[in-house]
Structure 1
């Protein structure tokens, strides 16, 4: 390989990695790309399967052997491209070796992790070095963080005034078509979530390390409701979920305040269902799982039995294609703030409703999101901030064409402005 590839998809034989390869030809048009992993025959099979699915011959796509247990192979992979798309998780165990190799090689890195301890840990440990190397390390580049981050940015762009707060109401339509399989998520997502729950104390320490400057005391405070409630603007019941989405959005607000002196937007996210009983049961199962994840022996039982503890919605086999195609999500954003010319000391009078939606959110949307993120890093460096660093996607892509790119793709994200009111 005489010249550097533009992109290498690492972890291409994994469940999500295979879908990223399938979508690569559409998104990475005009760029050179290859795939990487530890097993050559499996990698070649991924290309063959993806090629048949899209009706293209992918046999000429370069195959690179790289294994996280072999640091030299990871270093060599990083030197062979301009950006690594890392699909190899759980990132808590396998992510740092790839990040370190990319920074040392001056190669950009994007991944689909939603693991807060890994994400914050990489920022604490490698941010300064990444800046020195002018290298971007950007996690959370899949579902559901990209929709959450871009949803806030889209709402702010369409808000005629100053934003004080933004609430996100997330609903999934899960209608498994294959009645032999309820699965909508792969067990890898479940394992990552369990480890994140089990190491909550570590996350608090990392947050303190990142809070180098105190954010302003914003008024009026966005009220937080921990209980299940009906939302009058939507058909459904919701409860607050302090998942990685809230962390990544608030990290973006922190970075924009510190580096741009931009007023932070207060943010809360809620997940909802059509049935009151389903919403209450889901919240109880989540709380039970968080408690059980603290106990090492029980934690291993949880990890090994995703089907049992998620009522069949997560499995080691992952969702079949027909179930992926039947899934849809929508995130509705209620944004409040001040009208043009209104004093910020007054009560906010303006309210804007916006929405993002897409099909196949967990895998198809994730694949498109990380591919577009990688493409933007390469194509629009002048619109990216700070010439490098370990940063969040909302901060990285706020001034780029990421929203427009995602909106124009087949089965991409749909962005809508629903309603604007003054109170």
Structure 2
């Protein structure tokens, strides 16, 4: 990888809703411990990018105007993407939905030997980029590191953290996400809503892609099969109703486990299930009714149009074109708890042991608001870790999940220092 690039980091899509927060976080970090890092912002409008820097400067109390360059780049103009990527060691791609705008940026980065980090939570996009660009990225020595935001670093690295702290062999891990809102409530941005619409509408394409990639082949199990908990279940440990988490976490963790099995000598991949907790039974009923309506509407063009036109109505107020207010962001937080079950080293000494798992462990990842505080923190620290610890990455390049890329790095410690904290809540103990 050439080191003569003009910028260590370029934030592409800096004038978008999430991009603004990434710029602010990068501004904080480069005004503190990473003062030598060179960076620029990129997007379609020079005027908007200058306004982003003005707003970020006012928010963080550091003047960025003279320290950060502005680059004009457009996903519909290949030459501008090539020019941007040619100047960057790492491109932070904040332009979504990625199924519409992501691939041209990946293509430009691979072509011009720039590492690429995204914050996508769209499994079809993520897996299609692996299918199309993994081999070429390896040849070029380029790292395309995916889903480096709330989707799906807490889940993927949380699983690895749980495994690392288990004195034996883990068979299954289940994650339970709790999202907390302040007195102002919580709202997601339209781009996330749009990604969900088109992801569900094209689910069949994802199944075909996985068949073509051979990723539907089952991995070996070290114990009983992970329980299928259905569309909803009551968790005694969480003391809440829970439903399957609709994001990319499960697919990302499975890809990491497959890589570790195929390439890193991990003979017993972890079975993983991801859930989100619901505050009360009445909300569970409302959520399930809304989910059915949403699923049906995504199958028709008129339904997708209505969902896109009126996100606040069809999401019961949880998504809007405007996104959350600053007060809503400041009042929100998350906790993701992991329950691991497996075999202690004591029983593993007996090669004939084939009983049920005899040990459990509980860990958690907790942090501030998921989409616009935690995600920028994770994305920026992922970029810095890539720049500083590239020699610890497991390959010479390729399209990687966070767990593959950062397994042996200090990213967990870096995140904990920035308020996204990994911890053991219940040490491994016999059942």
Q: Which category describes the TM-score, using the shorter chain as reference length? A: over 0.9
How much has 1:241 moved relative to structure 2? Answer: 3.1
Map 1:73-88 onto structure 2 (within 5 A): 73-88=80-95
Residues 236-245 or 372-381, more deviating: 236-245
How much has 1:144 moved relative to structure 2? Answer: 3.2
Map 1:67-106 onto structure 2 (within 5 A): 67-106=74-113
Structure 1 gap ranges (5+): none
**Other-structure match for 2:372:** 363
**Other-structure match for 2:263:** 259
Answer whether contact 1:237 1:274 (CA < 8 A) is retained. yes
CA–CA distance in 1 between the matches of 2:195 and 2:216? 30
**Other-structure match for 1:290:** 295
How much has 1:328 moved relative to structure 2? Answer: 1.2
**Other-structure match for 2:358:** 349
How much has 1:213 moved relative to structure 2? Answer: 8.8
1:289-341 Cα distance to aligned partner (Å, 9 max, x none) = 12210111111111121111111111111100000011111111000111013
Answer whether contact 2:180 2:332 (CA < 8 A) is retained. yes
CA–CA distance in 2 between the matches of 1:243 and 1:36? 28
**Other-structure match for 1:23:** 25
How much has 1:240 moved relative to structure 2? Answer: 2.1
User: SS where residue 341 of structure 1 aligns?
Assistant: helix
CA–CA distance in 2 between the matches of 1:421 and 1:70? 57
Structure 2 gap ranges (5+): none
Residues 204-213 or 382-391, more deviating: 204-213
Q: How many residues align?
A: 416
1:54 aligns with 2:57: no
How much has 1:176 moved relative to structure 2? Answer: 4.3
1:34 aligns with 2:37: no
Answer whether contact 1:166 1:266 (CA < 8 A) is retained. yes
CA–CA distance in 1 between the matches of 2:298 and 2:216? 32
Q: 2:425 aligns with which of 387, 395, 418?
A: 418
User: SS where residue 342 of structure 1 aligns?
Assistant: helix
**TM-score normalised over the length of structure 2:** 0.94
Residues 76-85 or 242-251, more deviating: 242-251
How much has 1:235 moved relative to structure 2? Answer: 2.9
User: SS where residue 217 of structure 1 aligns?
Assistant: coil
Q: 1:400 aligns with which of 403, 409, 413?
A: 409
User: SS where residue 283 of structure 2 aligns?
Assistant: helix
Answer whether contact 1:235 1:274 (CA < 8 A) is retained. no
User: SS where residue 256 of structure 1 aligns?
Assistant: helix
1:205-260 Cα distance to aligned partner (Å, 9 max, x none) = 11112226944431310101114222111231112235311001101111111111
1:177-221 Cα distance to aligned partner (Å, 9 max, x none) = 2xxxx5521101000110100000010011112226944431310
Change (3 A) 1:277 1:213: closer
Structure 1 runs of 4+ off > 6 angstroms?
A: none
CA–CA distance in 1 between the matches of 2:182 and 2:62? 31
1:12 aligns with 2:14: yes
Residues 11-20 or 146-155, more deviating: 146-155
CA–CA distance in 2 between the matches of 1:78 and 1:67? 12
**Other-structure match for 1:185:** 188
CA–CA distance in 1 between the matches of 2:401 and 2:383? 14
CA-atom RMSD, angstroms?
1.5
Answer whether contact 1:228 1:280 (CA < 8 A) is retained. no
Change (3 A) 1:231 1:387: same
**TM-score normalised over the length of structure 1:** 0.95
Q: 2:344 aligns with which of 334, 339, 350?
A: 339
1:362-389 Cα distance to aligned partner (Å, 9 max, x none) = 1110001111111111110111111110
User: SS where residue 396 of structure 1 aligns?
Assistant: helix
CA–CA distance in 1 between the matches of 2:380 and 2:292? 34
CA–CA distance in 2 between the matches of 1:216 and 1:305? 41
CA–CA distance in 1 between the matches of 2:284 and 2:231? 10
User: SS where residue 230 of structure 1 aligns?
Assistant: strand
1:149-201 Cα distance to aligned partner (Å, 9 max, x none) = 12111111111111111000111112342xxxx55211010001101000000
CA–CA distance in 2 between the matches of 1:212 and 1:415? 29
CA–CA distance in 2 between the matches of 1:290 and 1:378? 41
1:323 aligns with 2:328: yes
Answer whether contact 1:239 1:283 (CA < 8 A) is retained. no
